Chains A and B, each alone.
Chain A
Amino acid sequence: MLEMTGITKRFPGVVANEDVDLTVLPGQVHTLLGENGAGKSTLVKILYGLYRQDEGEVKIGGERVEITSPAAAISHGVGMIHQHFMLVPTLTVAENVALGLHGKRGLADMAPVRERLMEVSERHGLVIDPDAYIWQLAVGERQRAEILKALYRDARLLVLDEPTAVLTPPEVDDLFATLRSLTSEGRGLIFISHKLAEVMEISDEITVLRDGRVVGRTTPSETSREGLASMMVGREVRLGRDVSDQDTGQDRLVVDGLHVRGDRGNLALEDFSVQVAAGEIVGIAGVSGNGQRELAEAIFGLRPIESGKVEVACRPIATPTPKSVRRRGVAFVPEERMRHGAVGELNVSENLMLVEYEHRPYVRAGLLQFGAIAERCKDLVRRFTVKTPSITTQTSHLSGGNIQKVVIAREFSADAEVLIVAQPTRGIDIGAAEYVHERLLSKRAAGAAILLITEDLDEALQMSDRVVVLYEGRAMCNLPRAEATTDRVGLLMTGVSEDAPAPA
Chain B
Amino acid sequence: MKSLSLKNMSRILVAGVVFSTLLLPVGLPAQQSKPWEQIAVPKLHEFNPHQPKRIQLKNGIVIFLQEDHELPFVSGSVLIPGGGRDEAPAKTGLVSLYGQTWRTSGTEKMSGDAMDDLLESKAAHIETVGGEDSTTIAWDSLKGDTDQVFALAVDLLFHPKFNAEKLQLAQQQEATSIVRRNDDEGEIAGRESNKLVYGADSPYARQTELATIGAVTLGDLQAWHDRTLGGKLIVSVSGDFEPAAMEAKLRAAFEALPPVKPLPARHDAFHDTQPGVFFIDKEDVNQSNVQIVGLGTDRHNPDVPTLAVMNDILGGGFASRLFQKVRTELGLAYAVGGGIGFSYDHPATFRVDVLTKSASTVDATKAALAEIAGLTTRPFTEDELKRAKDDLLNSFLFRYDSRDKVLAERVLLEFYGYPADYLETYKAALEKVTLADLNAAGKKYIHPNKLAVLVVGNGPEIKPDLDTLDLGAVKNVDITIPQPKASAAEEKKQ
Q: Report if A and B associate in a common complex.
A: no
Residues of A in contact with B (beta carbons under 8 Å apart): none
Residues of B in contact with A (beta carbons under 8 Å apart): none
